[in-house]
């Protein structure tokens, strides 16, 4: 059985892409995926499809898939640390969608997607419990999903304002990655929100985190909110990217030697408004190993950064 260090070499460089989920492209003022491919193809390297296996995909995702352009499968319905979530019906549906989408890998927020049995009315997203025991349970789920599908499974650090447990978020996911022998999807916006909520400096914990495990990175806007004297940042997938998030993007990209894909999560914003943020993202990634790989992949497609 190959270790992550060998398996990651076989993963494609997808470049900079966009995420979506069922119905997102139908919302008012949403990003037009077809126009993105036609007018700014260097930012349309792949589509990350957020998917509940029981709900499926919308026509916009189906159109992208039918073009044969690269995709990833972002699960929205699995609690990786709960063995009972791997029921036969869900696994069969998941595998059917994997066959349809042909994703480069699986990924998704590694937290609680539902409370109690999986059922539409129970769906939510809460952070994991940041303890050593929880890291072991999550790692076991990642290993199982990888074995069931034959694809890499990249856990993502979820958003949140309240975190339970005695570990720093990055220490928790370092243990998950080690015990699952996996790579990771590091969401810089989510990490910035966590650091602010916990009262940490923006780079706290990064020195001890294995950045060579980061295969994918997410960037998104966040909106500061205040109520009753309580201040927090809402993960709104808007275009106002926190400076803390941008700082993390530059720091991580400089050291993430195996980074293959970056998503700007802006699916509910007009293309014209997204393009300056895409260009800023390109600037922040310049000079990294990822940028060099991406430039080679773009050149192979007859495109330039």
pLDDT digits (tens, 9 = 90+) for 140-194: 999 999 999 999 999 999 999 899 999 999 999 999 999 999 999 999 999 999 9
Among candidate residues 109, 118, 48, 52, the one with its CA nearest the CA of residue 82:
118
Summarize pLDDT for 130-152 with one digit per residue, the tens: 999 999 999 999 999 999 999 99
Q: Tokens 């060579």 correspond to what residue?
A: 212
Whole-prediction pTM: 0.96
pLDDT at position 163 is 94
Distances, alpha carbon 191 to alpha carbons 3, 4, 18, 100, 287, in Å: 27, 23, 19, 32, 23
What is the predicted pLDDT for the residue at 125? 92
Q: Does domain 4-300 correspond to CATH entry 3.40.50.620?
A: no
* Cβ–Cβ under 8 Å, residues 43 and 70: no
Q: Which residues of 120-138 are buried (b: 16+ CB within 10 A; e: fewer)?
A: eeeeeebbbbbeeebbebb
Quote the pLDDT of residue 233: 77
User: What's the confidence (pLDDT) of residue 237?
Assistant: 85
List, in sequence order, every residue forming a beta bridge with 186; answer none if it has no partner. 217
Residues of the chain with pLDDT under 50: none
pLDDT at position 41, please? 97
Q: How far is the C-alpha of 129 from the C-alpha of 148, rounded, in Å?
A: 25
Three-class DSSP category at 50? strand
Model pLDDT, residue 115: 86
Under 8 Å between Cβ of 128 and 111: yes
């Amino acid at each position: 059985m190959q270790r992550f260090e060998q398996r990651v070499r076989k993963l494609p460089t997808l470049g900079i892409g966009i995420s979506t989920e069922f119905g997102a492209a139908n919302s008012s003022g949403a990003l037009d995926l077809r126009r993105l491919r036609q007018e700014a193809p260097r930012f349309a390297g792949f589509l990350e499809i957020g998917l509940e296996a029981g709900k499926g995909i919308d026509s916009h995702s189906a159109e992208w898939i039918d073009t044969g352009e690269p995709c990833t499968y972002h699960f929205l319905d699995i609690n990786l640390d709960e063995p009972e979530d791997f029921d036969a019906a869900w696994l069969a549906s998941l595998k059917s969608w994997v066959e349809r989408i042909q994703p480069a890998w699986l990924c998704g927020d590694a937290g609680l997607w539902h409370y109690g049995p999986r059922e539409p009315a129970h769906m939510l997203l809460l952070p994991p419990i940041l303890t050593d025991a929880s890291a072991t349970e999550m790692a076991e789920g990642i290993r199982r999903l990888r074995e069931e599908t034959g694809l890499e499974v990249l856990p993502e650090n979820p958003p949140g304002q309240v975190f339970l447990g005695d570990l720093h978020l990055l220490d928790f996911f370092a243990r998950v990655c080690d015990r699952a022998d996996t790579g990771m999807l590091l969401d810089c916006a989510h990490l910035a929100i966590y650091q602010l909520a916990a009262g940490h400096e923006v780079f706290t914990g990064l020195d001890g985190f294995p950045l060579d495990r980061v295969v994918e990175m997410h960037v998104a806007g966040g909106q500061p909110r205040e109520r009753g004297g309580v201040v927090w940042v809402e993960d709104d997938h808007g275009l106002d990217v926190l400076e803390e998030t941008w700082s993390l993007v530059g720091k991580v990209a400089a050291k993430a030697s195996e980074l293959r894909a970056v998503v700007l999560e802006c699916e509910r914003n007009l293309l014209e408004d997204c393009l300056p943020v895409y260009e800023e993202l390109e600037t922040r990634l310049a000079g990294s190993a990822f940028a060099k790989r991406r430039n080679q992949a773009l050149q192979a497609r007859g495109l330039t950064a």
